[in-house]
Amino acid sequence: MAKQLRKKKDQGKKPKAKVVTMREHEDADYEKQTLLQQATWAEKNNDLETAERLYRKLMKQKAFNASVYTRMMVIYRKQKRYKEELEIINKALQHFKEDSTKRAASKASNAIITKLSKSLNKSLGLTDKKGNQVYEPEPVATWKKRKTTVEKKLKR
């Protein structure tokens, strides 16, 4: 009877994800990690040159990843390399815009869904009367703020 009760309790629970941490001195584990994990590990261990090299490799890949650009900005800020940071910010803004237009074009246009989405966005105040977005997506606003800060530092 007790086993049946435990089984019913356990059926509703989802298994927890196993978090695997990377160890410093195990080369075999390091080789198994993805480029992003290797870059993050290098950055946490203050090996900024390796982290920068790995993040650059990730940027050359076809898939757009906003966090890679953000991490590169942080690395350049730590090293006070403001010109490179400004270049990365501009590149990130451009790639984000290209990626979002590519995603919008690739979506199958369903007229009913599009109409509902537009009316919902308008009623929530997310778009103006013409259908233009009022607010920018998250990384863009942060990157633009960072850009003005870097430009001020370059003028000094």
CA distances from residue 13 to 4, 18, 78, 133 in whole angstroms, order as listed = 15, 15, 43, 40
Residue 29 scores a pLDDT above 60: yes
Given phi > 0 = left and psi -120 to 50 = alpha, else beta, which region is 18? beta
DSSP code at position 130: T
Our measurement of the distance from residue 94's CA atom to the centroid of its chain's CA atoms, rounded to an integer in Å, reads 15
Q: What mean pLDDT comes out for the span 20-25?
A: 53
DSSP code at position 107: S
Confidence label for 66 from pLDDT (cuts 50, 70 and 90): very high
Confidence label for 87 from pLDDT (cuts 50, 70 and 90): very high
What CATH number belongs to 34-107+123-156?
Answer: 1.25.40.10
Give pLDDT, residue 92.
Answer: 95
151/11: higher pLDDT? 151
pTM of the model: 0.69
Give pLDDT, residue 108.
Answer: 58
Give pLDDT, residue 42.
Answer: 94
90/25: higher pLDDT? 90
Give pLDDT, residue 11.
Answer: 60
Q: What mean pLDDT comes out for the span 83-110?
A: 85
Classify residue 75 as exposed, middle or buried by CB count within 10 Å of its CB (0-12, 13-18, 19+): buried
Confidence label for 103 from pLDDT (cuts 50, 70 and 90): confident
